Amino acid sequence: MNYLTDTDAEKLFSEAKAASENTYSPYSHFPVGAAVLTGDGTIVRGTNVENASYGLTICAERTALGHAVSIGKTDIRAIAVYCRTNAAAPCGACRQFILEFGNDIVVIFMHGEELVQRTIEELMPFAFTKTILAQASEVVDQDHNL
């Protein structure tokens, strides 16, 4: 397993908690923070940003990952998610978004009183991935060459 040490997981989770202080959640009043750990040790924060048109709201996880990509960091090692209710596993959309950057990314979140670490692959068995998309493209290319 690629899990972080307890100390490193707690540090990343603390970064996610700090990020939640900057949330923009005037509608749900559900502040969420996320912190991404990149392969070179950089930590990038993000928070949820809500919108009056609810469908345009963006979760903390996607904000943090988008920020990491925008500064050239796509080697993602782990992501921690914090909310005050101690029940902030990433939503389905965020799980799919995290998976885009690798199957072995460690996801850290509270489940009750326990700080949990799971790989994104453990949270998304049988996921739709870029590998599946590439295989589908190969099949289409083969069909066109017949």
At 16, the pLDDT band (50, 70, 90 cuts) reads very high
Is residue 146 pLDDT above 60, yes or no?
no
Phi, psi of 52, deg, nearest 5? -60, -30
At 87, the pLDDT band (50, 70, 90 cuts) reads confident
Model pTM score: 0.90
Pick 142 or 67 by higher pLDDT.
Answer: 67
Neighbours of 110 (CB within 10 A): 21
Q: 66-98 as b/e, with b when 16 or more CB fall inside 10 Å?
A: eebeeeebeebbbbbbbbeeeebbbeeebbbbb
Please list the residues that pair with 34 across neighbouring strands: 46, 81
For 6-144, the fitting CATH number among 3.40.50.10470, 3.20.20.30, 3.40.50.300, 3.40.140.10 is 3.40.140.10
Known catalytic residues? 61
For the residues 22-33, what does the mean pLDDT come to? 96
Structural domain spans, the chain? 6-144
Is residue 94 pLDDT above 60, yes or no?
yes
106-119 pLDDT per residue, tens: 999 999 999 999 99
Is residue 29 pLDDT above 80, yes or no?
yes
Cβ-Cβ contacts under 8 Å for 46 (sequence gap 6 or more): 19, 33, 34, 35, 36, 60, 61, 62, 63, 64, 65, 66, 67
Is residue 133 pLDDT above 90, yes or no?
no
